[in-house]
A and B are shown apart, each in its own frame.
Chain A
Amino acid sequence: MKAAAFDYIRADTVEEACRLLAEGEGEARIIAGGQTLVPLMAMRLARPELLVDINRIASLKGVTADGETLVIGAGTRQADVLADAEVAARAPLLAEALSHVGHEQTRNRGTVGGSLANADPTAEIGLVARTLDAEIVARSSGGERRIPAAAFFESAMVTTLAPEELLIALRLPVWTAPRTGHGFHELGIRHGDFAIAAAAAQLTLDSNGRCIRIHVGVGGASPCPVRLTAVEDALAGSPLDDAAIARATEDISDMLDPESDIHAGAEQRQRTARAMARRAIADARDRAQAGAA
């Protein structure tokens, strides 16, 4: 399990990385944490000609606030995001999701941008991005663009990122309203495994306990993370009792298009996604209520 031979260049700036990508004409690949790419290369399922190492580009790292948006540098280690006080306070859904990502040692290397760019259907960070309608910032020699998460994920392991584009940051909207709560549930076979299905929910209650804003997303049960707008619509204005949640999520299988593999069957992923969605919404509701109390 030794990778096929390749060239290696360390980029010191975003501009240099973009230039190298453009010159690589599709044969160059970015390496950041390498937690997905290196195993693929070890099995020779990926064999880039050139690796462009962006680990030392300082501008790609860190969490900053831009008004009501958290900007998380693409090169920020998952462990650093998980430990970040601002993320914990303002984007607790992401923090909770990150605790399900791999293990401490992979989070110490794995980056936010790497997970997004890899676009594994079961990945937690992409699910949160999709659920909260985050934007993904990409740059190439030609300039910078912001891609809504809904338009970023194309299919399993495929994004709309162009080969010469470098992922710069994740822009995560912060919900500031009082009585906002979040929930995240995931079923892995073992702790830290890829999810069979995962669900994320964030919602806001009014002072009467009725839901005035809700986002629900599901991962692992479709080629890309999915936002369940039909569920959201059904629950808007609802007091979110368990029966209402159960009703609203009863038919979510119709909104999902999972694959079967050796770890889980397609129907199992659908049913599990429903269970995870119910639990995530219920957790979000309980937290919103607790916040109100």
Chain B
Amino acid sequence: MSDHDIALTVNGRRMTSRAEARTTLVDFLRDNLNLTGTHVGCEHGVCGACSVIMDGRPVRSCLIYAVMADGAEITTVEGLEGSDGALSPLQDAFWETHAMQCGYCTPGMLIAATALLARNPDPTEHEIRDAIGGNLCRCTGYVQIVEAVQIAARAMREAG
């Protein structure tokens, strides 16, 4: 029924497109803005594969209609690298520990962990598991993901 012009700031860039009210944020990012790094897993808010950071907080983008996010600032996995193309410490740590296999849940995991480290530079293992507890991974058993977050946290603290 109603169509809407929607403007988002995604990874620092203002982007606009028009979509039906029923278009979820993840579909809008993928289909309208061609940002396919964010993945669709369950479409009913359980698996966390579609996690993005919206106005500073990690959220499930399958549970938000894009029109509701109009004007919001969004960070997706495509926005985690530095402006020079350097990997973020967390991305680098994910690579170092091989915190993934198929890579499908990885963008959501990185988003959840990025948000964690932004507010808690020295998380305990329990806090790490809590932060990624809403993101399902079927490949890794989470062990190397937890290791990666620990390594990244240390690296970020040491770098100040």
Which residues from chain A sit less than 8 Å from chain B, CB to CB?
Answer: 1-8, 10, 31, 34-35, 38-39, 41-43, 51, 53, 55, 79, 102-106, 108-109, 191-192
Task: Decide if A1 touches B133 in the complex (CB within 8 Å).
Answer: no
**Which of chain B's residues have a CB closer than 8 A to the CB of A106?**
45, 60, 63, 134
A34-B68, A55-B68 known; A104+B22 contact, CB < 8 A: no
Q: What is the bound-complex CA distance between A250 and B24, given in angstroms?
A: 48
Task: Decide if A6 touches B64 in the complex (CB within 8 Å).
Answer: no
Scan B110-136; emit 1 where CB is below 8 A from any A CB, else 0.
001001000000000000001101100
Quick check: is B151 within 8 A (CB to CB) of the other chain?
A: no
Quick check: is B7 within 8 A (CB to CB) of the other chain?
A: no
Task: Decide if A6 touches B21 in the complex (CB within 8 Å).
Answer: yes
Contact of A105 among B1, B22, B24, B60 (CB under 8 A): B60
Q: What is the bound-complex CA distance between A103 and B51, given in angstroms?
A: 12
Q: What is the bound-complex CA distance between A39 and B47, given in angstroms?
A: 12
Highest count of chain A CB atoms <10 Å: which of B4, B27, B68:
B68
A3-B22, A55-B68 known; A38+B63 contact, CB < 8 A: yes
A-B contact pairs, 15 of them (CB 8 A): A2-B27, A8-B2, A8-B21, A8-B65, A31-B68, A34-B65, A38-B45, A38-B64, A39-B45, A104-B131, A104-B134, A105-B58, A106-B45, A109-B59, A192-B134
The minimal Cβ–Cβ distance linking B66 to chain A, given in whole angstroms, is 10
Contact of B20 among A1, A5, A31, A34 (CB under 8 A): A5
Q: What is the bound-complex CA distance between A2 and B60, given in angstroms?
A: 15
Q: What is the bound-complex CA distance between A109 and B48, given in angstroms?
A: 14
Q: What is the bound-complex CA distance between A34 and B45, given in angstroms?
A: 10
Q: What is the bound-complex CA distance between A181 and B81, given in angstroms?
A: 47
What is the interface of chain B mostly: helix, strand, loop, or mixed?
Answer: mixed
**Which of chain A's residues have a CB closer than 8 A to the CB of B154?**
none
Q: What is the bound-complex CA distance between A7 and B64, given in angstroms?
A: 15
The minimal Cβ–Cβ distance linking B124 to chain A, given in whole angstroms, is 15
Q: Which residue of B lies closest to A5 (CB)?
A: B1
Q: What is the bound-complex CA distance between A88 and B68, given in angstroms?
A: 30
The minimal Cβ–Cβ distance linking A10 to chain B, given in whole angstroms, is 8
Which residues from chain B sit less than 8 Å from chain A, CB to CB?
Answer: 1-2, 4, 20-22, 24, 27, 43-45, 48, 51, 57-60, 62-65, 67-68, 112, 115, 130-131, 133-134
Task: Decide if B20 touches A103 in the complex (CB within 8 Å).
Answer: no
Task: Decide if B44 touches A102 in the complex (CB within 8 Å).
Answer: no
Q: What is the bound-complex CA distance between A243 and B57, given in angstroms?
A: 46
Task: Decide if B21 touches A7 in the complex (CB within 8 Å).
Answer: yes
**Which of chain A's residues have a CB closer than 8 A to the CB of B1?**
5-7
The minimal Cβ–Cβ distance linking A133 to chain B, given in whole angstroms, is 31
Q: What is the bound-complex CA distance between A50 and B59, given in angstroms?
A: 24
**Which of chain B's residues have a CB closer than 8 A to the CB of A35?**
45, 60, 63
Contact of A103 among B2, B43, B133 (CB under 8 A): B133
**Which of chain A's residues have a CB closer than 8 A to the CB of B4?**
8
Task: Decide if A104 touches B112 in the complex (CB within 8 Å).
Answer: yes
Top 3 A-B pairs ranked by shortest CB distance?
Answer: A103-B134, A8-B21, A39-B44
Q: Which residue of A lies closest to B69 (CB)?
A: A55
**Which of chain B's residues have a CB closer than 8 A to the CB of A53?**
67-68
Q: Which residue of A lies closest to B42 (CB)?
A: A1
**Which of chain B's residues have a CB closer than 8 A to the CB of A109?**
59-60, 63-64
Highest count of chain A CB atoms <10 Å: which of B2, B45, B67:
B45
Q: What is the bound-complex CA distance between A102 and B21, given in angstroms?
A: 26
Q: What is the bound-complex CA distance between A51 and B1, given in angstroms?
A: 11
Task: Decide if B44 touches A7 in the complex (CB within 8 Å).
Answer: no
Please give 17 more A-B residue pairs, beta carbons under 8 A apart, in addition to A6-B2, A108-B57: A2-B22, A3-B22, A8-B4, A8-B21, A8-B68, A31-B68, A35-B60, A35-B63, A55-B68, A102-B134, A103-B48, A105-B51, A105-B58, A106-B45, A106-B134, A109-B60, A192-B134
